[in-house]
Structure 1
Amino acid sequence: MKYSIKVNEVRAKEGSNIKGFATVVFGDSFKITNIAILENREKGELFVSMPRYKSNEKDANGGGVYKDVCNPITAEFREELYTNILEEYNKVVANENRDMEEDKGSIATPEFSVTVTPFTRENSNIRGLARIYFEDSFIVNNVNLLQGKENIFVAMPSYKTKQVDEQGRAIYRDVCYPVTKEFRKKLYAEIERAYNEALDKQKQEAQEKVQNGNDKSQQPKTYENEFIQKDSSPKPFR
């Protein structure tokens, strides 16, 4: 898969282990931001941390559980991608070439597939969650399908910034998103198609379940076991 990497070094505050942030673009179509480059001080090594979000789950101590917004699927691609990110960071620190492109394919637009799980949540406009798979190597989680005034629309994973709009509301920015208008249209259309297909399947399964329940309730009741039990009981002598 063809991708490019750009790294920015961070002059973090004293005590922070953040060394930089990386951005990865698949082909010229899809961008991943907020990839952190951190330092393990005990080992004196750098490592890569993908963008994360706080889930509703709790750990054994009652603390919040964080999960990756997106991440490599295979060990091979993880090793390749993380190694290239760290190499690019070292180049930036050494004031060498700042942009790197890793060509692992001949196509600019990566192949992808999507899965969608429709669901509703009380007092929420969420109608489903989608996952995007890029060439069986990289996954993007937490893609929301939201109910608008008229139609369902796709919302990419986002994070809350410290900025506010004119009404004083917090501004959110996408963690990962389509770069080009053409790819955005193609990707969102596929997500919406998969959502409608999954929704139709859910409705069909619900109808079949109701129908099967009605069929069972309409079957004549048999009293064979009752008769056997009654006949086998001792009878008074007459």
Structure 2
Amino acid sequence: MKYSIRANEIKGNEKQQGENASHLRGFATLIIGNDFKISNIAILESNEGKLFVSMPRYKSSDKDEKGENVYKDVCNPITKEFREELYDNILDAFEKAKCADKTEEVKSQEGTEMPSFSVSVTPFEREGSNIRGLARIYFEDCFIVNNVSILQGKEESLFVAMPSYRTKQVDENQKAVYQDVCYPVTKELREKLYGELISSYQEAKDKMETATQMQAQDKVVVNVVQPERETPFR
């Protein structure tokens, strides 16, 4: 799979907050093809002084044995081979950025082809929410993007929301501003990807509704009452 990586070092005066802040050494951005961007990839240093890669994560509703929320990857490699290749290249780009004292870019290979992908969508509704489905995107069977949402707008129209995080900024209405963690950066991929997600949602929803109707029909017991025969007059 064609991709490029941009990495930069976090300087001592660039204070960070949040989980793993004291171990944070840098950030990386992954661009799949020239079309899909993943930001907020963290480069951390362990207590033993070893660098490692942490993909963007979100706090799930699942709990661990201590009753604390479990964090899950927003996106990640799904094969051992690609994970090792990608993480090695991210750390390599980071080391080069440290030496050059600037953002460094590493490319896996040249090419302009749009990355191939597939999607899976599960209809999902929650009371009081405009979420209508949850989706995953698979790039070339080696990288997955989770936590993609299908939302319903005010005019009943459907749209796609990519995974995002809450920033410290607020808009003109003093509401929190959210920033996408990963998203298509070209019009061509955005239209193709979002169209496929909406289409897959509609198809999955239709199948679910059909299955529900068939189950309901199976439970209906039709009692056929036989008319009483008239007793012959004697």
- TM-score scaled by structure 2? 0.89
Matches within 5 A, 1:120-139: 120-139=125-144
Corresponding position of 1:213 = 219
Matched, 1:145 2:150: yes
The superposition leaves residues 151-194 of structure 1 with CA deviations (integer Å, 9 ceiling, x where unpaired) of 01000000000111111111000000000111100000000010
Residue 18 (structure 1) aligned to one of 14, 21, 24: 24
Are residue 31 (structure 1) and residue 37 (structure 2) matched? yes
Within 1, Cα distance between the matches of 2:152 and 2:125? 10
SS in 2 for 1:94: helix
2:74 corresponds in structure 1 to: 69
The answer for the alignment partner of 1:159 in structure 2 is 165
> Partner letter of residue 218 of structure 1?
V
Q: For residue 18 of structure 1, report the CA deviation from its aligned partner.
A: 0.3
Indicate whether 1:86 and 2:91 are aligned.
Answer: yes
User: TM-score, normalized by length of structure 1?
Assistant: 0.87
Aligned partner (choices 167, 172, 177) of residue 171 of structure 1:
177
**In 1, distance between residues paired with 2:182 and 2:106?**
19
Contact 2:8-2:98 at 8 Å conserved across structures: no
Q: What is the number of equivalent residue pairs in this alignment?
A: 217
Q: Determine the C-alpha separation between the residues in 2 that align with 1:135 and 1:208.
A: 36
Shift of 1:107: 5.1
- Of 50, 54, 63 in structure 2, the residue corresponding to residue 45 of structure 1 is 50
**How many angstroms apart in 2 are the aligned matches of 1:116 and 1:66?**
22
Find the aligned partners of 1:161 and 1:55 in 2 and give their Cα distance: 18
Where 1:114 maps in the other structure, the secondary structure is strand
Q: Distance in 2 between matches of 1:108 and 1:163?
A: 36
One-letter amino acid matched to 2:33? G
Q: Which runs of structure 2 are paired with 1:97-116 in the superposition (5 Å)?
A: 98-103=104-109, 106=111, 108-116=113-121
| RMSD, aligned CA | 1.8
CA contact (8 A) 2:35 2:184 kept: yes
| Secondary structure at 2:165 match in 1 | strand
Query: What's the secondary structure of 1:149's corresponding residue?
Result: coil
CA contact 1:29–1:108 (8 Å) conserved in 2: no
Deviation at 1:99, TM superposition (A): 1.3
Gaps of 5+ in 2: 225-234
Q: Is the 8 A contact 1:9 1:93 kept in 2?
A: yes
Query: Larger C-alpha radius of gyration, 1 or 2?
Result: 1
